[in-house]
Amino acid sequence: MSHAQRPLSPHLQIYKPQLTTVLSIVHRATGIALAAGTILLVWWLLAAAIGPDAFATAQAFWFSWIGRLMLFGWTWSLMYHLCNGLRHLAWDAGWGFELKQAYLSGWIVVTASVVLTVVAWVAGYAVRG
């Protein structure tokens, strides 16, 4: 029975990508990326708790080009997941389900995530001096 050749419903690749579907999968992808990022958040906290040498090692990693690249990716992932998460919470409350509203909120999320990422990094470099 389980091996019967039944017709299958078409999978994702048959559909034309749209803003709504792309933002949906990006929400999941950024969630997975942020989950990986928690390991480094915990490493940073532990390094601060352990002592100056451990903290210096962690700090050196974050300021390396690879560390900065990862941090930049996570900054955008966090901003996106936060903004799109708010969009999801609005939907859960029953707001913004019209197609036009869903597209408008989608573009707001994309714009806000980019602006917030840039603001965070400009502020970070300003603080560091």
Partner 1 sequence: MNEDTRLRTPLGRAVGLGSAKEGVAHWWAQRVTAVALVPLVIWFVIDIIALTGSPRGAVVAWLHAPFPAIATVLLLIAVFYHMALGLQVVIEDYVHSEWLKISAIVLNKLVAFALAAAGIFAVLRIAFQG
Give whichever of 4 and 49 is closer to partner 1, judged by the CB atom: 49
CB of 31 to partner 1, least distance (A): 5
Give whichever of 22 and 89 is closer to partner 1, judged by the CB atom: 89
CB of 101 to partner 1, least distance (A): 20
| CA-to-CA separations, 93 to 61, 88, 96, 97, 112, in angstroms, rounded | 42, 9, 9, 10, 21
CB of 19 to partner 1, least distance (A): 21
Which positions ≥6 away from 2 have C-beta within 8 Å? none
| CA-to-CA separations, 53 to 46, 49, 58, 114, in angstroms, rounded | 12, 11, 9, 35
Binding site residues, partner 1, CB under 8 A: 28, 31-32, 34-35, 38-39, 41-42, 45-46, 48-49, 51-52, 55-56, 63, 78, 82, 85-86, 88-89, 92, 120, 123-125, 127-129
Distance CA 49, CA 15 (A): 50
CB of 126 to partner 1, least distance (A): 9
